Amino acid sequence: MSNAQFTEATSADPVERAIARRVTRILNDPTLDRTRREAEVKRAQRELLEHRRRQQRQAQLAQQMAAAQLPAGYQAQAAQVRDGRLQVAAFKQRTGYVWLDVGEAPSPIHTGD
């Protein structure tokens, strides 16, 4: 039985806590052989890294959206990436919503794994 402690178990992020709980269950599962246990832990590690990449990319997009120069009276409401460009859904009273291209989207984050 494993007594491993994971920093992710104390994270404010519920996804990270769930992954930490799952890895603890995997390590403590007596029905898994070594090969299967390693494969399951590696899969959880990949999921954790991908989750962190998505969070970082979302933060970059939100920062770029907040810094976007919108026409007078428009307020950014949402964003999307299309064909490598960041588009912002902007709202203006009496005009409604409009999608505005605000520039190149940040490139995907690579960690070299």
SS3 assignment, position 9: helix
* Element (DSSP H or E) covering residue 76: strand 75-82
Q: Give the start-to-end residue ranges of the domains of the chain.
A: 1-67, 69-106
Q: Which two tokens stand for residue 18?
A: 């769930």
Which of 44, 61, 62 lies closest to 109 in space, CA to CA?
61
Please tell me whether the overall predicted TM-score, pTM, comes out greater than 0.85 for this model: no
- Average pLDDT for runs of 10 along the chain of length 113: 78 93 93 95 96 89 82 84 86 85 71 49
Measure the CA dihedral 107/88/68/49, to 10°: -30
Q: What pLDDT, on a 0 to 100 scale, did the predictor assign at position 101?
A: 84
